């Protein structure tokens, strides 16, 4: 005598499941269709960056225009990508670029290698190197992505003199490093 089963055949349950599975996927599609798009119109509308965004590097100056970089090369040693090259030189009384004994005569950052980690910023003892919010550095010429010192130096503000020039009368290097030179 054949056995009687009250449940539908096994193959018919699989058939129904195969029909309903795509509807679950369409449900996801339908819910995202009516959400506001997250796409930005980048070249036309630039959104502001975060305050602590790591962009292009900048070599800072003291308020009188002398450079903060003392040519110690700690930033180059800290860089894991080997993107920074610094060559220090000695200041003279005739040509003074920074308040200390030395200054960074050659300073290069290779943005083809830079990974934007900020370890160079942390290593700088005089806070000479910081990062700006500028992030548009793309170029079709590889040589233009190696920034020299003249492109990295902060622009002169009113009241600053371009280096080389002597320290302000009556000041020492400690006055500069302590922040008392205005």
For residue range 11-41, what is the model confidence (pLDDT) as tens digits?
667 777 887 888 888 888 888 888 887 777 8
Percent of the chain residues past pLDDT 90, beyond the cut: 52
Q: Is the pLDDT of residue 1 over 60?
A: no
Q: Give the global pTM.
A: 0.73
pLDDT for res 42: 81
**Does residue 104 lie in a domain region?**
yes
C-beta separation of 73 from 105 below 8 A? no
- What pLDDT shows up at residue 45? 84
Determine, yes or no, domain membership for 16: no
Q: CA–CA separation, 172 vs 182, rounded Å?
A: 13
pLDDT in tens, 150-179: 999 999 999 888 888 888 888 888 888 777
153 carries a ligand binding annotation = no
To the question of whether residue 72 is assigned a binding role by annotation, the answer is yes
How far apart, in Å, are the Cα atoms of 76 and each of 18, 122, 138, 155? 61, 12, 23, 23
What value, to the nearest 5°, has the Cα angle with vertex 139 and ends 136 and 141?
Answer: 160
Q: Is 69 annotated as a binding residue?
A: yes
| 119 in any annotated domain | yes
Is 114 contained in some domain? Answer: yes
Query: What confidence category does residue 43 fall into, taking pLDDT thresholds of 50, 70 and 90?
Result: confident
Residue 99 belongs to some domain of the structure: yes
* Averaged pLDDT score across all residues of the chain: 88
Residue 88, marked binder: no
Are 74 and 123 in contact by the 8 Å Cβ rule? The answer is yes
Q: Is 71 annotated as a binding residue?
A: no
- The predicted pLDDT at position 30 comes to 85
The 10s digit of each residue's pLDDT in 106-134 is 999 999 999 999 999 999 999 999 999 99
pLDDT at residue 71 greater than cutoff 80: yes
- 92 falls within a domain: yes
Q: Which helix (H) or strand (E) holds 129?
A: strand 129-131
Q: Is 95 within 8 Å of 110 (Cβ atoms)?
A: no
Considering its fold, how many domains does the chain have in total? 1
Residue 80: partners with Cβ closer than 8 Å, 6 or more residues away: 115, 117, 119
Is residue 87 predicted with pLDDT exceeding 70? yes
- Nearest Cα neighbor of 111 from 70, 54, 68 is 54
The answer to whether the beta carbons of residues 106 and 71 sit under 8 Å apart is: no
Q: Is residue 103 part of a domain?
A: yes
The whole-number pLDDT of residue 178 equals 79
CATH code, 78 = 3.30.70.3270
Which pLDDT belongs to residue 101? 92
- 124 labeled part of a ligand binding site: yes
Q: Looking at the domain assignment, is residue 6 inside a domain?
A: no
Domain that holds residue 98: 57-167
Containing 84, the helix (H) or strand (E) segment is: strand 84-90
């Amino acid at each position: 005598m054949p056995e009687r089963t009250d449940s539908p055949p096994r193959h018919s349950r699989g058939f129904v499941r195969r029909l309903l599975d795509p509807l679950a996927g369409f449900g996801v599609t339908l819910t995202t269709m009516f959400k506001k798009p997250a796409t930005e119109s980048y070249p036309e509308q630039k959104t502001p960056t975060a305050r602590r965004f790591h962009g292009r590097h900048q070599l800072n100056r003291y308020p009188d225009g002398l450079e903060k970089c003392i040519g110690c090369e700690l930033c180059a040693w800290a860089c894991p990508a080997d993107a920074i090259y610094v060559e220090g030189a000695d200041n003279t009384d005739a040509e003074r670029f920074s308040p200390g004994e030395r200054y960074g005569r050659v300073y290069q950052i290779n943005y083809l290698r830079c990974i934007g980690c900020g370890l160079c910023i942390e290593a700088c003892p005089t806070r000479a190197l910081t990062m700006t919010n500028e992030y548009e550095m793309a170029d079709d010429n590889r040589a233009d992505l190696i920034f020299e010192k003249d492109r990295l130096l902060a622009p002169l503000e009113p009241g600053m003199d371009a280096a080389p020039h002597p320290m302000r009368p009556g000041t020492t290097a400690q006055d500069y490093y302590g922040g008392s030179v205005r």
